[in-house]
Chain A
Amino acid sequence: MSTPSTPPSQPASLPRSNVALIGSPNSGKSLLFNRLTGLNQKVANFPGITVDISAGKSLIDNSTEYLDFPGVYSLHTISGEEKLAVEAFYKAMDADHLDAVICVVDATRLEKGLIFALQVVEACRRYNKPLLIAANMTDVLEQHKMQLDTQGLADALKVPVLPISGKTGFGLENIPSAIASAKAPTEAYGIAGDIIASDDSLIHRQAQQLANKYGPKGDLLINAQTKLDSFFLHSWFGGLSFFVIMYLLFQSIFTWAAPVMDGVETIIQVTADFVLARVPEGMASDFIADALFGGIGAFLVFVPQIFVLTLVVGMLEDSGYLARAAVICHKPLRVFGLTGKSFIPMLSSVACAIPGIYAARTVDSPRKRWLTYLAIPLMPCSARLPVYTLLIAAFIPAQKALGGLIGWQGLAMFGIYVFGIVCALLVTAVVSRSNAELRSDLPFVLEMPPYRLPSWRPLLRNAWNRSKHFVTKAGKIIFIVTVVIWFLGYFPNQGASLGDSWLGTMGQWIEPVFAPFGLDWKYGVAILTSFLAREVFVGTLGTLFGIEGAEENFVSLSQQIQDSGLPIGSGVALLVFFAIALQCVSTLAVLAKETGSWRLPTQLFISYSIFAYVAAFLTFHLVEFLV
């Protein structure tokens, strides 16, 4: 199966420069694209995760550029997202932007792939575009000793069919030559006339006949899948395993990342000591200690957590489990006006709201997607983590209860995460009930992808990229903010008294805003700067306490907060404020881009700010009353 099976009498042709990759959702197209281009497009085992057209130069032959189109089930489209993808595909064909097309089909589920492939054969015939069919996932066939007759299929379709595996890389080296020799289909398959516009049962019958004749035989794969489904969707075990998996997900963020976080902290500390010992005392050393190590170092500590979280969420997507989780969550989420498909964007938002907003494109009902957008900013994203960790370390004792089974700090973290999720669900429940239109829905139809062992390399690369993105994107903002904050806090009296600095003076103006929950001006400034990005809060506070206390590292920040005599009510109020407020410029910008206007982000920003303020105010008084 290592050479392309071309139909007879196809002469060689010119190399192609722009090659489209098209296929139905879950055909392994994105993994293939990553393999071919070395790009780091997100690959996931969940139908419809590719939501933009990505382009990348071929690693094998750099005169070729591959364009990865979003997965579509058909060239007849029903959902808005698919429609955009199909229109983009036709537009690219029409404008002569494409030199060839590769249609990726999942060889383990040939019939489904062929229904789409037959439409693509017809489209390429019409637009006179060379076509290659890539029969993907042949590694799975081989593993189960199943056969695909690529030559027979190629002869029947009069289109070359190349067996490949995006996962193992099998057959990929043959793609450039296979594309080069591919020709535009000249005959419509099976029927005379337009197969795309024809009766859908006809195309279905043809795909079925072809799959029966040339495709793998037997039920082995589907039986294995059903066996696992009967466990993961079992009335008891299914629910139980869902909770265990979610528990492990959160556990991994805190326990697996902890040693690496300690490592990063130690590196920052050692570097700070090393550098500061070599810089003469004065303004420069104050700047290095307070702004660089106090401000930026404080947030670098959290990068390992973001890495682990992205890795674990990616692993769950890749394994096929998230589609099952969507089934489990569908009924409960419907109570809150959402759908099971909202689960993936909401879970992704636990890592970061931005991929969550993009993933919401897979929610085919526009109304449910809109409701999902309302929930996303309230999901406990990883940018809140530094703030939560800091405040919990400062206010919750590091003691354990029930013989060491429960740690109060862990419980507090769990509590604030649950609080965010509950807020998200309550908002969607109230909004969906207040508007009758939002209650109606597109039906829930979701393909169950086969269970697969995750491909580690793309997952690790994705987690690495997300962390890098976090450092470079958020790091830039944090650097600028901390430098400005340091400058305003250090002058005009060279750090002698923070309260008399320019920042101190400005801080007194805003103090009345946050005084109702017992916060002084330093927290007020930190909250204001955190509207750029939440993690800036830690950096700003680190810088401010650094100037004030001449401490140079982050470790003592929670201690300094404790020592500052801040009441516990204020600490809990801050936690509640950060759980609700939409303090993220990037989230607002991406929401505006996705919804096509600034209306929704503006509404959300204002309403969540008011909600956060009121909830924090009530929390402060409640806690102070109880304690």
Chain B
Amino acid sequence: MTLWDLTQGTSATVSAFAASIEAGYRTRLSELGFHPGESISCVMAPSLGAPKLYRVNNTVYSLDDSIASMIEVA
């Protein structure tokens, strides 16, 4: 399951990054809080495939399917 599969109001823990994700971006995502072991909740999942809103601690980020589907969650 990936972060993109989370529905509004659900949470999951990051387990890994897809191998195809660029190293620089993996570091950045980690710095933003998306790193293995961190609990992420999907606070908004607008319809029509718009980017979803994910909460990490006290900050909310918007991620589109291209990146959210590269973050594996459990």
Residues of A within 8 A of B (CB): 73-74, 76, 78, 108-112, 115, 200-201, 203-204, 208, 211, 219, 221-222, 225-226, 229-230, 233-235, 238, 323, 326-328, 330-331, 340, 441-448
Contacts and interface: CB of A to CB of B under 8 A. Distances in A.
B48 interface: yes
B60 A443 contact: no
Contacts of B58: 108-112, 211, 219, 221-222
Most chain-A CB neighbours within 10 Å: which of B27, B38, B43, B59? B59
Nearest to B50: A331
A235 B64 CA distance: 16
Interface residues of B, number: 34
Chain B's interface: helix, strand, loop or mixed, by majority?
mixed
Nearest to A225: B60
A200 B62 contact: no
Contacts of A74: 27-28, 31
Given A74-B28, A229-B53, A444-B51, 15 more contacts: A78-B24, A221-B58, A222-B58, A226-B60, A233-B53, A235-B48, A330-B50, A331-B50, A443-B25, A444-B66, A444-B67, A446-B51, A448-B53, A448-B59, A448-B60
A201 B51 contact: no
B16 to A, nearest CB: 13
8 contacts: A73-B31, A78-B28, A111-B33, A200-B27, A201-B30, A211-B57, A221-B58, A444-B51
B74 interface: no
B1 interface: no
Contacts of A444: 51, 62-64, 66-67
Given A78-B28, A446-B51, A112 B59 contact: yes
Nearest to A109: B58
A443 B64 contact: yes
Chain A's interface: helix, strand, loop or mixed, by majority?
helix
B71 to A, nearest CB: 10
Interface in B16-55: 24-25, 27-33, 35-38, 43-44, 46-51, 53, 55
Contacts of B29: 445
Given A330-B64, A441-B66, A447-B60, A204 B35 contact: yes
A112 B36 CA distance: 17
Contacts of A112: 32-33, 57-59
Contacts of B32: 73, 112, 445, 447
Contact of B28 (A73, A111, A327, A340): A73
A122 to B, nearest CB: 14
A211 B58 CA distance: 10
